[in-house]
A and B are shown apart, each in its own frame.
Chain A
Amino acid sequence: MGIANHQLYYQQDMRVPMTHMSLVYCGGGTQQEAEEKAGLARATAKMLFRGTPAMNREEISRKFELLGAEVNAHVSETDFVVSISCFTKNVSTVLDILLTIMNDADFPSTELEFLKKNEINKFDAALQDAERVLSAGNQYVLYGGMRFGKIGSRKGIANLSREDVMEYFSKVRAASILFFTSISDLSKENIEEHTKRFALGRATSGFALKPEVQFKESRGREAFIVNSDGATNDRLIWSQRGIEAIDDRRFDLNLIVDALGSFEGLLFDVLRNKNGWCYGAYAFITPATTRRGRIGFYSDPSLETSSLLIPELLRLLERFSTEKDFQDRLSQRNATFKNRYPYQLDLKYRLSSEVSRDRYSIPILGRDAYNRRIDAVTQASAQKVIKEVFDSRNLCMVFYGDAERIQKILSRVDATISITVMDKESLVE
């Protein structure tokens, strides 16, 4: 399996006279950046609409908006994506302008300086948002010390030159695989015709998709505290190794994590509903792609209740499978998941399922086949998966809060936990 070059993934939507399209350049994402130029992929995406010899930034924005179009570029770890939403009556003109810009973009130096300043300023803004800092801390640990989200690093951005951006974009455009997605009131044939202007004669000697970086594995319980003196409450994301995308145990795992950590799960019930120790308490799955997924846990205890919640959360993770309350919830999850099948028929969901099928070999199941897989999940099979997959002895425990106080709590709970204290600034350097 794999995505064919110039493949179109399409869903028709006749409700409104709108066309949404994405050009996905596989391998054009942050995975291609050198450490000393972290932020280059995103900067390139943001520079794309900042000027050609014939049109400056303002004229580009105005041209698109006069046609009712919203055109952007963004990056993920693996991809460089150009997205278009416009009135269908104008789609041909909008795509012509887009093609001209992609051919002629000259990434003016003055614009690059504005952009670099803006990106660096965004670090300051992000560092005042506790949830973003927690998330960035978690990402920093799991990716082995890499960048703040996709923005990059202060040093990396400061190092960027116009030549870097130009070279990067030329490799993006020549990525070995370009595919398209679209939701439109136009026919598939019509959209295919529109995509040709971006596909015909395209070089494919640029970026090639690299394997995704595997998440860091924990050895024992490892705590990383992003220190924030005077934080008004604590926040935590703990995570552990998950399973691979096509692992047959994924159906059991989905039901287990839902019973443990959804709004109606055991964690929320014990930590929030029964004790009022926190605002949120959840378990979640970071889905596997070409890399193994992860199982995560989130909560945000108050300063007064953190010392109660942390040991209780650890206790629950060690023993939840034996709790009758969990088993009762799990026994009801077969019905839950079968009833949720209709959400898979949403147009955007279908589109992303088709991409995941080709990209990660995750099959799309019809309702009957899906129901059979859900029916096959039993208490016995789930208990087996819990034993095989859940591992509270090897946890990556990321915290945001007052390091000194959290350290004291952790040392009382489990003296074997290794603790690393991080400064917020270290996430962006």
Chain B
Amino acid sequence: MNTGSYHQLEEIPLLGNLTVKQFALDNGLRVAIVVDATTPIFTYQTWFKVGSADEPAGRQGLAHLFEHMMFRKTSRYEMGEFERIVNNNGGTGINAYTSRDQTVYFFTFPNDKLDIATDLEADRMTNLLIDAEMFETEKGAVITEKNRGLDDPGRYLWEEVYKSAYTKHNYRYSTIGEVQSIRNFTVEEARSFYRNYYSPNNALIIVAGDVEPEAVMKSIVEKYGSFQPSPPQARDVTDEPRQMDERASIVTHPKATSRMLVKLWHVPNILHPDYPALASVGRLLSSGKSAILYERILNKAKATEVFSDAYMSRDLGTFEFFVQISAGETFEEIETIFSEAIGELADGKVSEEQLSIVKNNLQREVYQAITVPARLARLLGDSFIYTGDLSYQIKSIREIEKVLTQDVQRVIKEYLLAGKSTTVKLLPEKEK
């Protein structure tokens, strides 16, 4: 049997002796390894470059439902065997998530269980059996999960925001889908989804912790090396047209007890040279206790939660501002505070101190991520999904450190002041 071979790609320096070693198998599977022997365990994550934005029109929720099926049955293991083997071998943190652009599976194992991890993940990448009865049972669990979300006003608000902000692109749909579409999925659709997207050339494996890179690659080549790549799947999405109008809506929720507000602008995605400056704007506004909106809104008891950020995606990016407003405060007042803050930044009222704080907070977050392998893996995985380059976010941190006041001014003027926003206000139903 041909077990394939692999080649090493550029090594990414992190800090001190810590680096990310990158490899690619001949069948297209990418592997990233971070050696950190502080604790004799390792985290093992499998990232597939497929999410809800890849679903065909009218089939929203398939990627997420399929994620559930990955824990069911393969030609080698009956239902429950996967979890049993993980558990018996000391595996923990077993779970998965689906988002718009990626689906990620992960667990953590003691350092002497490497072959168990590679065996289990390789098995379900190629041997999954999608049984019709199990598929129907799993729909019940997913519908319960969907209903849990309906009880959450914040989740409902964000679903409404994306529905309004995107008119064409699949980012307008929620990842979990709608109850009716979940009920209508067929086993054949799930099988086709598996064949199209769960292939080595559409996946990245990240191993971080107390491992030997040579042993990891030996095990991965042995277990995955013979897998055949599938034809690349072009993402079937319609480009979002430039937003030409201001959009505003008010929604209500029966369980809401606080007002909430979201304002959102379309901005370029993470690959654009303006991304570091946009990320800095988000941090100047709400990252850390001295940030402008933290000080003017949270510390003055005008809200219980506030954030602003440049949100990363594979396609179009967004700049988002969210507030959970205190009783007695008005949407107008909060919007005025936000507009004034943006106006001041656009006028160049940014001190060197403020930019230093942005850099310090970022540096501290990176240090903290480095000491938690699962967090570091997420930083690397997101970069890979959004840009194809594992090191992108780590490199962009250095770019954020170079951001100057005039960069902040320019991106605010170009994207926020000259751009068109989507505003969604959520009211408790009793205030309707």
Contacts and interface: CB of A to CB of B under 8 A. Distances in A.
Interface of A: 13, 15-18, 49, 57-58, 61-62, 64-68, 70, 85-87, 113-115, 117-118, 121-122, 124-125, 127-130, 228, 230-233, 258, 262-264, 269, 272-279, 300-303, 305, 329, 332, 335-336, 338-343, 345-347
Contact of A115 (B301, B356, B370): B301
B220 to A, nearest CB: 22
Interface string B83-113: 1101111101010000000000000001101
B255 interface: yes
Nearest to B303: A121
Contacts of A125: 257-258, 304-305, 324
Q: Could you say which interface size class chain B belongs to?
A: 35 or more
Interface in B149-208: 150-154
A67 to B, nearest CB: 8
Nearest to A59: B290
Contact of A117 (B289, B301, B370): B301
Q: DSSP majority for the B interface?
A: mixed
A339 B144 contact: no
22 contacts: A64-B289, A113-B301, A114-B300, A115-B301, A117-B301, A121-B303, A122-B304, A124-B258, A125-B305, A129-B152, A264-B83, A264-B87, A276-B138, A276-B139, A276-B140, A278-B141, A303-B147, A336-B87, A339-B88, A339-B90, A342-B41, A342-B111
B39 A345 contact: yes
B147 A264 contact: no
Nearest to A303: B147
A182 to B, nearest CB: 14
B141 to A, nearest CB: 5
A327 B313 CA distance: 47
A47 B227 CA distance: 59
Given A115-B301, A128-B258, A347-B38, A336 B141 contact: no
A276 B150 CA distance: 18
Among the interface residues B113, B137, B154, B364, which one has the most CB atoms of the partner chain A within 10 A?
B364
Given A114-B300, A125-B304, A305-B140, A17 B83 contact: no
Contacts of B140: 275-277, 302, 305
B57 interface: no
B80 interface: yes
Given A68-B360, A121-B326, A122-B304, A339 B80 contact: no
Contacts of B38: 13, 15, 346-347
A302 B149 CA distance: 12
A113 B301 CA distance: 9
Contacts of A262: 87
Contacts of B138: 276
Given A15-B18, A61-B289, 10 more contacts: A15-B16, A61-B288, A65-B361, A67-B360, A130-B152, A233-B144, A273-B80, A301-B144, A305-B144, A336-B88
Contact of B15 (A16, A61, A274): A16
A230 B429 CA distance: 13
B327 interface: yes
Contacts of B290: 58, 61-62, 65
Among the interface residues A130, A332, A342, which one has the most CB atoms of the partner chain B within 10 A?
A342
Contact of A273 (B16, B41, B79): B79
A66 B353 contact: yes
A18 B369 CA distance: 12
B352 to A, nearest CB: 10
Contact of B141 (A49, A258, A264, A276): A276
A18 B363 CA distance: 11
B298 interface: yes
A68 B363 contact: yes
Nearest to A258: B87
A117 to B, nearest CB: 4
Interface string B194-228: 00000000000000000000000000000000000
Contacts of A70: 288, 364
Contacts of B257: 124-125, 127-128
B40 interface: yes
A335 B116 CA distance: 14
Contacts of A301: 144
